[in-house]
């Protein structure tokens, strides 16, 4: 078994493209090995810095296994004439298989065949042929060509290629760059054209030339050195996203401590941190109480800053950016947010859906509708309606024009500064939430209302315009919007129905499609985020999918009750009941009829009926109180009576009246106790 090492040296790759590129590189490589029958037992890992994508594979076969192949040809009567002489077809088959005509055999099906021993090729030869394709098939959102329009495309120009199979160069070429056994160190600190003998030597050579190949190691270095720089009593504000970004922007990261004037702390922390993180990629520094301090951590792709030149440069740039932010804040305060509402007529939301002022009006109307549906108090609805009117006004401000990442946040800050009610200001601040899977939902009820309404208007508008997501394409982030609404409803404990949402969304005749879209996002939330089993989710949604909060509570209850001894056996019995009723004409046919107690046989049938009747009111009360665990536990207690019924009672009795009554009774049992979950969907075992 052999070790294969591949390094693709490039100009700097955008940080956010690096991890997907590594995934594609590994996938392409393993697919190529499988096609060449060299994949068995191979383990593969990838690494990357801004200037290199690296793959190392262990357990690669030295050569393909020799194979016996049977090559079939034309029928005998076509390959030979009546005198037994080979025809053109026979001679052609012999030529293709490189075998004398006399060595060709005839099979039982009267067709010609040849057995040949195919010798396996060396792995080095095969890799030299397939690796260029492996590299060129790495997917990037954008690519470029740098040799000629007919040349290969890649995210950045390829400057060197290293390819070694057990220390020997695997020859191939891309865009005039030939593979060799040489790598490059850090652009400014390391050496060029460093000879490498294999994976272990490669890692050591890079380390000695100021390249930390592991992204995790680079992140750990940033954290460790940054913490050493921060004065006692202060700490680096945690920011995993920025840490990951800087890990892919550097090969040898070195934190540098800088500072800024305390007068800038008069600006909101959100503005200062946004300038530092998004525009300068600096870490903020805070005290033990989480309050922002006039210091920051920058990260240089060097080994230090002995003269402080880099520090002073960063401080100058940050000072200028903060001055810009302060200027924008002061200019924006000359007009109230409320005075900017009319300006939204000039800001287009989407060509098919009108301006942001029109969107704000629709959002305010939806706020009123869902506020009424939830029976919220007048003050909450008033705060939310005001927030809906003001939520998009910050799009017309200088601050958002310069720092678009602050949309919503700036609006909330300005609203509070301009003496709007705090509930309204918070609702404006939070109305885009949740944006990502780790974001919290809006803090207050008014904010939750506005966030739902804003997202719902977006969904309804794009569905009405027939611009729904298709496949993996979702250019308007509609899946994220629907998922955000689901999260707010469940985590905010808002018992609002999907049907009502679709009704007020403005989706028109696409409301049915929007409903299915919401249910799909609800399934995703319960299965992929909350981790419930697929059959539990299916069982609950089949019973009812209209109120996401109710669906979540019922799914949680199923998950808790499922391990109890009676639950799954009862589910099996309910599935049996459903199958019997399906064969007899369907559940609905019998559920509409009434059970005649006088026709119930004494013993198991009457006992089950009595048990059902005694539980009916109890289960109903528990469901109304959202006590689903207790309700399911009570239903599961029916198991002995149900088992006894099927042991002793013949459902399909010869007497048609008795048979119909029994089917009706079973239909009532099934419908009565399947409103929490359709037990027939539960997979036993």
Average pLDDT per run of 10 along the chain, which is 685 residues long? 95 96 96 90 95 96 82 86 86 83 83 80 92 95 88 94 95 94 96 95 96 97 97 95 96 97 96 93 96 97 93 96 96 96 96 96 96 94 97 97 94 96 97 90 96 97 94 90 97 96 96 96 95 94 94 94 88 88 88 90 91 89 91 90 90 91 90 86 80
Rounded Cα–Cα distance for residues 310 and 301 (Å): 11
Q: By the 8 A CB rule, do 213 and 54 touch?
A: yes
539: in domain: no
Q: Which residues contact 475 (CB under 8 A, 6 or more apart)?
A: none
d(CA 164, CA 158) in angstroms, rounded, equals: 18
Domain membership flag for residue 546: no
As a whole number of angstroms, the distance between CA 93 and CA 96 comes to 5
Contacts of 240 (CB under 8 A, 6+ apart): none
Q: Contact 574/670 with Cβ under 8 angstroms? A: yes
Same domain flag for 360 and 425: yes
End position of a domain, from candidates 148, 175, 208: 208
The reply to whether 320 and 381 lie within a common domain is: no
Instruction: Specify if 542 maps to a domain.
Output: no
Residue 255, strand partner residues: 299
Specify if 163 maps to a domain. Answer: yes
Q: How far apart are CA 7 and CA 53, in angstroms?
A: 6
pLDDT computed for residue 440 by the predictor:
93
Q: pTM (2 decimals)?
A: 0.81
Tell whether 267 and 373 lie within a shared domain.
no
The CA-atom distances, in angstroms, between 523 and each of 438, 482, 536, 546, 679 are: 18, 12, 10, 12, 17
Please choose, from the candidates 339, 477, 484, 364, the residue with its C-alpha nearest in 3D space to the C-alpha of residue 414.
339
Q: 56 vs 7, 25, 197, 433, 605, CA distance in Å?
A: 9, 11, 13, 41, 69
Q: Are residues 135 and 196 in the same domain?
A: yes
Task: Determine, yes or no, domain membership for 650.
Answer: yes
pLDDT at position 671: 86
In terms of domains, do 183 and 257 share one? no
Number of domains in the chain: 5
3-state secondary structure of 169: strand
3-state secondary structure (DSSP) of residue 60: strand
Same-domain status, 352 and 457? yes
- Picking from 435, 511, 418, 429, the residue whose alpha carbon sits closest to that of residue 468 is 511
Residue 554 lies in a domain: no
**Phi, psi of 256, deg, nearest 5:** -135, 130
My answer on whether 352 and 441 are in the same domain is yes
What token pair was written down for 173? 């070429």
In this structure, how many other beta carbons lie within 10 angstroms of the beta carbon of residue 41? 10
The residue from 208, 242, 273 where one domain ends is 208
Residues in contact with 485: Cβ distance below 8 Å, sequence separation at least 6, in sequence order: 451, 452, 455, 456, 459, 501, 518, 521
Show the beta-strand stretches assigned E in 553-681.
Answer: none
Q: What is the pLDDT of residue 79?
A: 83
283-287 and 111-118 beta bridge pairing:
unpaired
Cβ atoms of 322 and 266 within 8 Å: the answer is: no
Rounded Cα distance between 675 and 672, Å, is: 7
- How many beta carbons lie within 10 A of that of residue 355, not counting itself? 16
The token duo for 204 is: 């050591």
**In whole angstroms, what separates CA 384 from the centre of its chain?**
31
Retrieve residue 2's tokens. Answer: 């052999």
User: Do residues 364 and 229 share a domain?
Assistant: no
**CA 83 vs CA 57, 78, 80, 87, 110: distances in Å:** 58, 12, 8, 10, 17
Together in a domain, 350 and 461: yes
Nearest CA to 94 out of 71, 117, 127, 65 is that of: 71
Same structural domain, 37 and 86: no
DSSP string, 270-284: HHHHHIIIIII--EE
In a domain, residue 557? The reply is: no
| Same domain (yes/no): 411, 351 | yes
CATH code of the domain covering residue 574? 1.10.730
Domain assignment of residue 74, given as a range: 67-118
Whether residue 44 is found in the same domain as residue 183: yes
DSSP for 609-629 reads HHHHHHHHHHHHHHHHTT-HH
**CB–CB of 604/648 below 8 Å?**
yes
Burial of 399 (0-12, 13-18, 19+ CB in 10 A): buried
Is 541 within a domain?
no
Would you state the pLDDT for residue 685?
A: 63
The Cα 328–Cα 322 span in angstroms is 10
pLDDT tens string 337-353: 999 999 999 999 999 99
460-492 per-position pLDDT tens digit: 999 999 999 988 889 999 999 999 999 999 999
Which residue, of 303, 332, 361, is where some domain finishes? 332
């Amino acid at each position: 078994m052999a070790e294969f090492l591949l390094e693709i040296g490039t100009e700097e790759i955008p940080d956010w493209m690096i991890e997907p590129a590594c995934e594609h590189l590994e996938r392409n490589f393993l697919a190529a090995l499988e096609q060449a029958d060299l994949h068995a037992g191979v383990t593969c890992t990838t690494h990357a810095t801004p200037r290199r994508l690296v793959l190392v594979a262990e357990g690669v076969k030295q050569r393909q296994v020799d194979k016996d192949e049977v090559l079939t040809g034309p029928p005998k009567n076509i390959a030979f004439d009546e005198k037994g002489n080979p025809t053109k077809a026979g001679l052609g088959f012999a030529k293709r298989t490189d075998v004398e005509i006399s060595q060709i055999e005839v099979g039982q099906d009267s067709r010609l065949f040849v057995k040949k021993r195919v010798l396996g090729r060396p792995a080095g030869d095969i890799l030299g042929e397939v690796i260029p394709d492996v590299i060129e098939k790495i997917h990037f959102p954008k690519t470029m060509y740098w040799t000629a329009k007919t040349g290969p495309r890649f995210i950045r120009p390829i400057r060197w290629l290293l390819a070694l199979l057990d220390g020997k160069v695997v020859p191939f070429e891309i865009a005039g760059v030939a593979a060799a056994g040489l790598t490059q160190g850090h652009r400014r600190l390391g050496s060029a054209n460093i000879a490498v003998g294999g994976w272990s030597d490669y890692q050591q050579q890079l380390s000695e030339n100021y390249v930390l190949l592991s992204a995790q190691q680079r992140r750990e270095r940033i954290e460790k050195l940054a913490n050493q720089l921060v004065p006692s009593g202060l700490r680096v504000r945690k920011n995993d996203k920025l840490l990951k970004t800087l890990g892919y922007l550097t090969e040898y990261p070195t934190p540098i401590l800088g500072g800024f004037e305390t007068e800038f702390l008069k600006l909101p922390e959100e503005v200062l941190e946004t300038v530092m993180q998004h525009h300068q990629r600096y870490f903020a520094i805070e005290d033990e109480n989480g309050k922002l301090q006039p210091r920051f951590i920058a990260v240089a792709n060097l080994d230090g800053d002995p003269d402080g030149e880099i520090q002073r440069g960063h401080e100058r740039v940050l000072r200028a950016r903060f001055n810009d932010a302060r200027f924008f804040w002061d200019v924006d305060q000359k007009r109230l947010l409320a005075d900017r509402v009319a300006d939204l007529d000039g800001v287009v939301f989407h060509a098919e859906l009108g301006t942001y002022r029109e969107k704000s009006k629709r959002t305010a109307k939806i706020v009123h509708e869902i506020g009424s549906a939830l029976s919220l108090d007048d003050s909450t609805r008033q705060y939310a309606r005001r927030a809906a009117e003001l939520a998009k006004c910050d799009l017309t401000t200088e601050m958002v024009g310069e720092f678009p990442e602050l949309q919503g946040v700036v609006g909330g800050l300005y609203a509070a500064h301009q003496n709007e009610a705090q509930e309204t200001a918070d609702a404006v601040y939070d109305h885009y939430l949740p944006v990502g899977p780790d974001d919290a939902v809006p803090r207050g009820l008014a904010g939750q209302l506005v966030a739902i309404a804003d997202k719902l208007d977006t969904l309804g508008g794009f569905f009405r315009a027939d611009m729904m997501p298709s496949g993996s394409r979702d250019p308007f982030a509609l899946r994220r919007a629907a998922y955000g609404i689901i999260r707010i409803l469940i985590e905010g404990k808002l018992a609002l129905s999907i049907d009502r949402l679709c009704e007020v969304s403005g989706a028109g005749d696409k409301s049915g499609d929007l409903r299915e879209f919401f249910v799909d996002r609800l399934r995703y939330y319960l299965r992929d985020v909350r981790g419930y089993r697929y059959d539990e989710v299916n069982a609950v949604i089949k019973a009812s999918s209209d109120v996401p909060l109710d669906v979540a509570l019922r799914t949680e209850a199923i998950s808790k009750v499922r391990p109890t001894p009676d639950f799954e056996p009862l589910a099996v019995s309910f599935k049996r009941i459903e199958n019997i009723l399906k064969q007899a004409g369907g559940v609905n046919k019998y559920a509409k009829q009434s059970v005649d107690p006088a026709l119930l046989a004494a013993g198991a049938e009457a006992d089950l009926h009595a048990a059902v009747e005694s539980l009916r009111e109890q289960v109903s009360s528990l469901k109304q109180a959202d006590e689903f665990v207790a309700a399911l536990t009570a239903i599961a207690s029916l198991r002995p009576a149900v088992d006894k019924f099927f042991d002793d009672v013949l459902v399909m009795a010869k007497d048609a009246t008795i048979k119909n009554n029994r089917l009706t009774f079973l239909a009532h049992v099934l419908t009565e106790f399947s409103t929490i979950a359709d037990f027939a969907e539960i997979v036993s075992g």
